[in-house]
Amino acid sequence: MPTTTGSPTKAKAIFLKDYPEGMPTSSLFEMRDVSVTAPQEDALLLRTVWMSVDPYMRGRMNPHIKSYIPPFSLDHPLDGGAVSEVMVSNHQGFKAGDYVVGFSGGWQEYHVSNGEGLQKVDGGVAPLSAYLGVLGMPGITAWAGMSQILNPVEGETLFVSGAAGAVGSLVCQLGKLKGMRVVGTAGSKEKCQWLEDEIGCDVALNYKDYPDSRALTKALSQAAPKGINCYFENVGGMHLEAALNCIAFGGRIALCGMISQYNNKAPEAGPNNLVNMIGRGVLAQGFIVSNYMHLVPQFVGEVAPLLAQGKVQFRETVYEGLAKAPEAFLGLFKGDNFGKAVIRIGPDRIA
């Protein structure tokens, strides 16, 4: 029989009150009490330990978006990646006390799952929060963009925008491990310092030092004197235009994100030099991580040992408590977060 013995009947969850136009503000978010329902047969009750905020969530706040992933509903809690503890299991694949990571379950303290898409994780291999970052969705994104689209070659030059973020910082390190020259951009002096000193970037550019794509092009052409063979795109706008100015013959571009565009009230004009893609034979592939979920075992097989051996580093900006989730999310668009932004929703174990 389904049971919720030992679990609360009410919990907190965050709702979107309305769809934002332009930059979202904290007033759009509201924390509400929701009922915790008992899991049916073959289902689980999960308690969120860590939740993730990621740039793609801004896209889901546009009710008209046509994407692989549907818009958020205003009638349900927001949703997103989370590491949770299994509180009650009526599912034979899981037992109470297991930790699981999934694309669902964030923005709320408890939720019921049918187990689909959940992976068991072990806090002994890496901190649980790492399964939302370097060993989770951002990690797979970085690895898939590199291995499935960019096909990097030793000695080539890799350019990474948003290089100090959860995705970008792993891309940079995978590039260095491959023997590439790596140039990254970030939005502060500290982040650039970290990229050069810890992550191994050959050059890190603070994009705030460059007022336009022309200025960024100049800096980029100095940092990448042989041209850019691979571009991992997280930012869009002047970053893309500058990259296309410096792209090498046969260049590849992994279009992962365009965070500079997500809060535009009206669409912003695109790069004026797409024609370079023709004469230089450039490939651009847009992707979202769910296209590559079948490769998770290969990703884990490659990246987990690198992490264990200290060959890959990661950094987190930790927010405490569900109430901080909107702030963490809004920080994505203000450059507030260094590495992966994660929110601790509850302790690893509750007594």
The residue (of 87 and 140) whose beta carbon lies closer to a second copy is: 140
CB 61 within 8 A of CB 72: yes
Q: What residues from 223 to 242 belong to the interface with a second copy (CB under 8 A)?
A: 236, 240
Distances in Å between the alpha carbon of 200 and those of 122, 181, 193, 204, 226?
Answer: 29, 10, 10, 9, 19
263 forms part of the interface with a second copy (CB under 8 A) = no
255 forms part of the interface with a second copy (CB under 8 A) = yes
Residue type, 347: P
What minimum distance in Å lies between the beta carbon of 342 and a second copy? 23
Question: Which of 147, 285, 298, 317 is in the footprint of a second copy by CB under 8 A?
Answer: 285
The residue (of 155 and 281) whose beta carbon lies closer to a second copy is: 281
DSSP assignment string, 90-120? -STT--TT-EEEESS-TTBSEEEE-STT-EE
CA gap 280, 181 in Å, rounded: 20
Question: Which of 6, 63, 211, 286 is in the footprint of a second copy by CB under 8 A?
Answer: 286
What minimum distance in Å lies between the beta carbon of 273 and a second copy? 6
Question: Which of 28, 215, 277, 295 is in the footprint of a second copy by CB under 8 A?
Answer: 277
Using the 8-state DSSP alphabet, how is residue 150 labeled? Answer: I
CB 61 within 8 A of CB 71: yes
CA gap 351, 136 in Å, rounded: 27
Question: Which of 35, 114, 151, 272 is in the footprint of a second copy by CB under 8 A?
Answer: 272
| 283-286/203-206 β-pairing | unpaired
CB 135 within 8 A of CB 81: no
212 forms part of the interface with a second copy (CB under 8 A) = no
Query: What track of x and - describes contact with a second copy for positions 46 through 65 (by CB under 8 A)?
Result: -------------x-----x
Residue 227 Ramachandran class (φ > 0 left, ψ -120 to 50 alpha, else beta): left
Number of residues lying near a second copy (CB under 8 A): 38
What minimum distance in Å lies between the beta carbon of 25 and a second copy? 22
114 forms part of the interface with a second copy (CB under 8 A) = no
What minimum distance in Å lies between the beta carbon of 235 and a second copy? 11
By the criterion CB under 8 A, which residues form the site for a second copy? 59, 65-69, 236, 240, 249, 255-258, 261-262, 267-288, 291
